[in-house]
Structure 1
Amino acid sequence: MRFIVIFVGLVAGLGGLIYGFDSGIVATTFGHNSFKLYMFGPAKKNTTLSGAIVSVYNAGQSLGSLSATFLADKFSRKYTISLAGFLAIVGGALQAGAANVGMMIAGRLVAGFACGQLLSVVPIYIAEAAPSAERGFLVGLQGMMIAIGFGFANWVGYAGAFAVGDVQWRVPLAMQIPIPIVLMVSVLLVPFSPRWLIQQDRQGEAKKVLLQLHGSENTILADQELIQIREQINLEASQGNTSWGPALRQLFSRRYIRRTCTAAFIITMGQLSGSSVIQNFQNIFYATVGFTGRTALLISGVYGMMGIIGQLIYLFVVADKWPRSVTLWSGSLVLSIMISICMALSAQYGSADAGNQTGARAAIAFIFIYSACYAVFFNAMIWVVPSELFPFFLRSKGVAFAVCIKAIAAIVLSQITPVALANVSWRYYSLFIATNLTAAVIYFFFLPETGGKSLEEISELFGDRLATEHIGNNDVAADLKDTLGSVEHVEEYTSLKNRAEKSV
């Protein structure tokens, strides 16, 4: 894998680092009494305001993702990422300098808006720049960065516990600012998406980018991909209006609704798998066995590290080696088993009067194992597959819609989870056992395998026509000859495409 390709993945993946840190830091912020005293007064508790601080972040994500549907196509993927970095800086500054709870809520809203843009644009940008054989690894770098950001947030929150006064929470919240600054600058050093350049009729620049990604020694391969992408985009344009408004409506047409629902379901399962509830429910077990205060924050830091370990396993064992569909359905079954064990242990030992610290510690251990398993099977894969499903003119819109639905699901869960935990306690786990089992069935029977195929070839799995089907046409052959410079190259391209079509 060329250095430039890895560099693109790492730079864009900083968007995942921002999202992971911003999502994780609020949990440790609520753990500081100094924050609760400052925001909620002597009672140190206000469920309405604390709920608003959490929910408005997800509301911002939904709005940010919708804005990305226009910005990513109009102004490019990388400039949209840069804009999101700027907004993340503004959001972090508002939170760190919050003079009252209203300012804090505004900061969370802006930060959520930025993260909604990043979650929508980063995976498609990496997918459009990545070689087919390494796309699972490179898009998976976003998942790796999310895990690192979340783990880093836990440790920063733990470090804040050693400070005094408002510094405990203001400095950790201010740590949201440096990463977006690095992203804003570094993203200007990476190339535009070659597919976006071709769509903008900037084919000379697109060819230079493809040569960067493939290497100057692979001129023929770069030319072949240039023509394949161009012909496919032209074919899409010839089949209907691909401008922003009509294209947005096509997401829900009979032709594309399956892909839209599949992408939304996969990304939303990041919430419905139970990961966010498991994360919140862990504190009950820590308190049961006598771990509170700094010790509880320390254990939370270890919990975050489990996600990083699982993500490393994904990158070097699973990515581009296991079929995408197998990873998702088998992972859903594994999570169902983990949650079932946690549910059983919670029922037996999940209360302060259970009197069995060994059983409660076992429940904590399985929460840790669950975190690692989620990272192995889902933390990256829920971004890899949706970024592959759509044709170019719908890609940014489809992924953004899926992120919007995910954010709405997060808002719903954040509202019902406290009530559910108070009323049904450990029985609440059964909801996520059911959702994971349902997901396993859907992935097994209805998700086509997208691994190892170009983004253009994946569309054929859903019944789209490929421009390469007409590679024998004299006009196209003449165009190939002009572009590649020799008949031998045209014949090589035709042979390669024929083999690719047979393997679909």
Structure 2
Amino acid sequence: MGRAFNIFTAVFCSIGSFLFGYDSGIIASVITFPAFKAFIGHPENYDSLSGAVVSTFTGGCFFGAALAGWTNDKLGRKRSIQLGAVIALWGCAMQGGANNFACMLVGRIVAGFAIGVLSMTVPLYNTEIAPPKIRGFIVGLAQQMIGIGFIVANWVGYGCQYLEGNQGWRLSLGLQLVPAFLLLVGIQFLPNSPRWLLEQGRDDEARAVVLRLHGGATPEARADADAEFVEMQGVIHAEASARSRNLSDLWETRAMLKRTLVAVGVQVFGQFSGINVINYFGPSMYQALGLSPGQSLLVQGIYGAVGPITNFFFITLILDTVGRKKPLMFGAGSFVVTYSVLTAIVACFPPVVDGVANTHTSAQRAGIAMIFMTSIFFSVSFGPVSWVLASEVFPTRTRSIGTSVATCANWAFNILFSQVSNLAINNVSWRYYLLFICLNAIDFVVIALFFPETKGKSLEEMAEIFGDETALPEVHDQHSDHKVEVEKA
């Protein structure tokens, strides 16, 4: 019962990740709609203006993730998620009802701010309620819901292209209001993070939440819950005296600097995979292979289903067995191969030769296959692992601010790629993909040499991996009543 409640809580909380996936996916379709192009105007500058539509959203995400470090400490994980949902309702309503380009950009910024809060808080919350043995699966559900958001967005976009006038893009963007409202209302019925409650001195509430998460109907479950609670309580109370909430805490010791570099590194390397270039500008990439706009949207819809299916089997069957480091190395190495092949295809078979469209179907299929393979490899590597690793490496006293900084790094590079990618694809074509070959080759070496393995460890045991002085409390187990107490000096 405890595991089922853990999973339900994580899935519902991850509606925030669904919003992230839906918005990222739907904009790739919307910017190809003729009615949206007419709404934006200035066809001679449309590539840069559509890039602004995407990058203003990611810019909002950056600042939302930055603020979330503070709100998670002050308000808690639940209230931060509710705050994100409220802001999402505001931003999505502005996008769907925009009457000019400026209103659209403001709506994108506001919605992005909300997604920034949610993208940082959802993995953090899921990390703190998950038992160590299935933490990879629980936190990986955030990536699963991002993928499902992409699936829904791609098919909504494909269907809405047939609506007349502005109805298509307005409906596509306005549908985001539904999951935002569900999250706002439903999160109220989920428990607070027990670790945050302990930080606030609300120990009895924290114990009750841990017992609930363990499904404490049996003596064994109650004993396990008490043991986890005592370990959690001892470490968090010991850290409380050193808590300062200063950004400099993230590099004050060699061990903390390593934690920060690993968390930031895994998030940035996830962007180096180029996955969001495909997510945002996939239709443009398919058109560069010679497909028509309608065919490009159809292929993007099919593409959106590949990653989530792969991700589900990976987080369910593999992630908590093989760990974090090996999948990351596999992903980086695989991207070098897929982008190398894609570069060769686009270079040898350009979409237009001497004014005549390329109809080399074998080359088109091979190029599409490489893009699909990139999604598959991302879903068994950086997709789920980046969220798991970035949120689990920090001690409780710096987990909020550390996860916030790592997520901000993710969004900073997301902004960069979202702004330049459409221009690069249209102007330098295959040469742009050379960048991703080089970046992922570097990632592979860095991960192999410097990233630790963290699977199966409790959040309080991460000190052993990163070289801190271990400060776990000594525990005395009274078997007669299954109570566990910390021995006091």
Category of TM-score, reference length = shorter chain: over 0.9
Look up the match of 2:228.
225
The aligned amino acid for 1:229 is M
Look up the match of 2:169.
169
Structure 2 residue matching 1:191: 3-state secondary structure: coil
Shift, 1:420, TM fit: 3.4
Look up the match of 1:446.
450
| 1:463 counterpart (460, 467, 473) | 467
Look up the match of 1:498.
none
Residues 50-70 of structure 1 show CA distances to partners (whole Å, capped at 9, x for unaligned) of 332221111111110111111
Counterpart contact for 2:283–2:297, Cα < 8 Å: no
CA–CA distance in structure 1, aligned partners of residues 290 and 437 of structure 2: 28
Residues 311-370 of structure 1 show CA distances to partners (whole Å, capped at 9, x for unaligned) of 123123322121211111112111211111111222212332355221122111221121
CA–CA distance in structure 1, aligned partners of residues 278 and 46 of structure 2: 23
The aligned amino acid for 1:268 is V
Look up the match of 1:148.
148
How is 1:85-484 mapped onto 2 (pairs within 5 angstroms)?
A: 85-216=85-216, 217=218, 218-238=221-241, 240=242, 242-244=243-245, 246=246, 248-255=247-254, 256-279=256-279, 282-284=282-284, 286-287=286-287, 291-353=291-353, 356-468=360-472, 471=474
CA–CA distance in structure 2, aligned partners of residues 423 and 34 of structure 1: 24
Structure 2 residue matching 1:165: 3-state secondary structure: coil
Shift, 1:485, TM fit: 8.1
Look up the match of 2:6.
5
Residues 209-236 of structure 1 show CA distances to partners (whole Å, capped at 9, x for unaligned) of 1111112221121111111111111222
Residues 179-212 of structure 1 show CA distances to partners (whole Å, capped at 9, x for unaligned) of 0111111111110001011111111111111111
The aligned amino acid for 2:196 is W
Shift, 1:490, TM fit: 5.5
Residues 134-182 of structure 1 show CA distances to partners (whole Å, capped at 9, x for unaligned) of 0000101000000010121111111111211110110111011100111
The aligned amino acid for 2:435 is L
Shift, 1:6, TM fit: 0.8
Structure 2 residue matching 1:250: 3-state secondary structure: helix
Counterpart contact for 1:154–1:304, Cα < 8 Å: yes
Counterpart contact for 1:87–1:111, Cα < 8 Å: yes
The aligned amino acid for 1:29 is V
The aligned amino acid for 1:352 is V
Look up the match of 1:474.
none
The aligned amino acid for 1:253 is E
Shift, 1:440, TM fit: 1.5
The aligned amino acid for 1:270 is G
Percent identity among equivalent residues? 38
CA–CA distance in structure 2, aligned partners of residues 55 and 347 of structure 1: 27
CA–CA distance in structure 2, aligned partners of residues 326 and 123 of structure 1: 21
Shift, 1:237, TM fit: 2.6
Counterpart contact for 2:28–2:283, Cα < 8 Å: no
CA–CA distance in structure 2, aligned partners of residues 227 and 36 of structure 1: 59
Counterpart contact for 1:53–1:108, Cα < 8 Å: yes
Pair 279,103 (structure 1): closer, same or farther in 2 beyond 3 Å? same
Look up the match of 1:501.
none
CA–CA distance in structure 1, aligned partners of residues 483 and 212 of structure 2: 20
CA–CA distance in structure 2, aligned partners of residues 23 and 39 of structure 1: 19
Alignment RMSD:
2.2
Counterpart contact for 2:62–2:116, Cα < 8 Å: yes
Counterpart contact for 1:285–1:360, Cα < 8 Å: no
CA–CA distance in structure 1, aligned partners of residues 252 and 91 of structure 2: 36
Shift, 1:306, TM fit: 1.2
Shift, 1:416, TM fit: 3.1
Pair 146,486 (structure 1): closer, same or farther in 2 beyond 3 Å? same
Pair 48,365 (structure 1): closer, same or farther in 2 beyond 3 Å? closer
Structure 2 residue matching 1:425: 3-state secondary structure: coil
Counterpart contact for 2:129–2:194, Cα < 8 Å: yes
Shift, 1:438, TM fit: 1.5
The aligned amino acid for 2:248 is R
Residues 79-131 of structure 1 show CA distances to partners (whole Å, capped at 9, x for unaligned) of 10111011111110000000111110111001110111111111111011001
Unaligned runs of 5+ in 2: none
CA–CA distance in structure 1, aligned partners of residues 232 and 37 of structure 2: 54
Normalized against structure 1, the TM-score is what? 0.90
Normalized against structure 2, the TM-score is what? 0.92
Residues 9-61 of structure 1 show CA distances to partners (whole Å, capped at 9, x for unaligned) of 101111110100011111111111111112216x4853443332221111111
Look up the match of 1:16.
17
Shift, 1:487, TM fit: 9.2
Shift, 1:281, TM fit: 5.9
CA–CA distance in structure 2, aligned partners of residues 51 and 369 of structure 1: 25
Pair 281,192 (structure 1): closer, same or farther in 2 beyond 3 Å? closer
Deviating more after overlay: 91-100 vs 278-287: 278-287
Matched positions, count: 478
Structure 2 residue matching 1:46: 3-state secondary structure: helix
The reply on whether 1:76 has 2:76 as its aligned counterpart is yes
Pair 486,285 (structure 1): closer, same or farther in 2 beyond 3 Å? closer
Structure 1 residue matching 2:455: 3-state secondary structure: coil
Deviating more after overlay: 87-96 vs 212-221: 212-221
Pair 381,488 (structure 1): closer, same or farther in 2 beyond 3 Å? closer
CA–CA distance in structure 1, aligned partners of residues 170 and 45 of structure 2: 19
